[in-house]
Amino acid sequence: MAQILTSKKLLHNLTICLLILAVVMCLCTFVGSQRISLLKALKGPGQSPGYNIDYEIFIIRLKRVILAAIVGAALAASGVILQALLRNPLADPYILGISSGAGLGAVIAVLSGITFTFAAGSPMAVFAFCGSILTITLVWYIGKSAAKSQLTSLLLAGVVVNAFFSAVIMFLTSIAKSDQLRTTIYWLMGNLTDKSSPVLIIASVSVIAGITLMFTLCNKLNAMTLGDQEAHALGVNIPRVRLIAFAVSAFITSVAVSLSGLIGFVGLIVPHAVRITFGPDHRQLLPLSAIAGALFLIMADTAARSLFGQEQLPVGVITAIAGGPFFLVLLAKYSRKVSWLK
């Protein structure tokens, strides 16, 4: 029961999803531990800080919702790309060493107490970003230098580097002081805290540019899912596509991880859920996964910060608890519909 994707259908789906995203973003800025009124908030900041509390809280929530959208979109899009490149349904953005590389960077930042920042961000973010980029470059070169199938050696290199860096993280955590320890664990669990506007703008521009760039590769990714030989016969320059897609996906995942720590589940499950609902064509799968990832993380984060009043749960807890059952239901409902899943 294959459905052919036309550009009209793609635009139609995309517009609906973007509208839903906009509505959800607006609604979520009104949920939180304090009640605010929109009319008061729209009056603007006033001449001194503390003049319009509603406005300040509204802006903080808006920034947080935007951050959740960016991180969710980045992780989901990256998941789509990696699942296509590695032809492995279990691939998630962290599979090739990004999680342990970023974690190691963050732990080093906390333990060394360095205060270097970039664009009014935090040192942990900078170190985590550098850590993940360096790790993924290492994994790429190890994978490339193997004689056999590049995909297998890439996966193996990723697993080994992950294990090695996780061990280093465990060692460093064992010698950390108690509040450093708590900071590290808190960061590794994934969290979305208030970031400065420059950081948010840079992150948004990077992630949107990255997703747009990957969108131009979607035709070729469709061909590559058929297999290397078939794709080559269709005229796809496989090594080049692989390099660009891999690099861009690694970059946007590193941006996401440096902002929010390690939020699991989004990059793995959202692409599958969208694929089950809308079909496997990457020209549709990529943008819709990005939007779905943004939606999922916005709602999970809103739940995390408002379920218990002033207490905040880590976002990763909500994504796993909510995402798991939801995905199982989706799988049961749609596996009968889609023939290629059998």
What residue ranges bind another protein (CB under 8 A)?
32-34, 48-50, 53, 56-57, 60-61, 110, 118-120, 122, 124, 174-175, 177-180, 182-183, 186-187, 193-194, 196, 198-199, 201-202, 205-206, 209, 212-213, 216, 244, 310-312
Please give the Cα distance from 42 to 20 (Å, whole number).
23
For the bound state, the minimum distance from the C-beta of residue 286 to another protein, rounded and expressed in Å, comes to 16
Nearest to another protein of 118, 327 (CB atom): 118
Closest by CA position to 124, among listed 258, 13, 285:
258
One-letter identity of residue 62: L
Identify the residue whose tokens are 């605010």.
36
For the bound state, the minimum distance from the C-beta of residue 274 to another protein, rounded and expressed in Å, comes to 24
Nearest to another protein of 137, 206 (CB atom): 206
Please give the Cα distance from 101 to 135 (Å, whole number).
5
Nearest to another protein of 211, 294 (CB atom): 211
Please give the Cα distance from 95 to 155 (Å, whole number).
8
- What kind and span of H or E run contains 3? none
Please give the Cα distance from 57 to 134 (Å, whole number).
37
For the bound state, the minimum distance from the C-beta of residue 59 to another protein, rounded and expressed in Å, comes to 9
For the bound state, the minimum distance from the C-beta of residue 320 to another protein, rounded and expressed in Å, comes to 19
Nearest to another protein of 63, 275 (CB atom): 63
Nearest to another protein of 15, 34 (CB atom): 34
For the bound state, the minimum distance from the C-beta of residue 204 to another protein, rounded and expressed in Å, comes to 10
Q: Mark 276-307 as b/e (b = at least 16 C-beta within 10 Å).
A: bebbbbbbbbbbbbbbbbbbbbbbbbbbbbbe
Please give the Cα distance from 296 to 305 (Å, whole number).
14
Nearest to another protein of 3, 310 (CB atom): 310
For the bound state, the minimum distance from the C-beta of residue 244 to another protein, rounded and expressed in Å, comes to 8
Nearest to another protein of 229, 310 (CB atom): 310
Closest by CA position to 270, among listed 82, 99, 72, 95:
72
For the bound state, the minimum distance from the C-beta of residue 280 to another protein, rounded and expressed in Å, comes to 24
Please give the Cα distance from 245 to 110 (Å, whole number).
32
289, 214 in Cβ contact below 8 A?
no
Please give the Cα distance from 85 to 79 (Å, whole number).
10
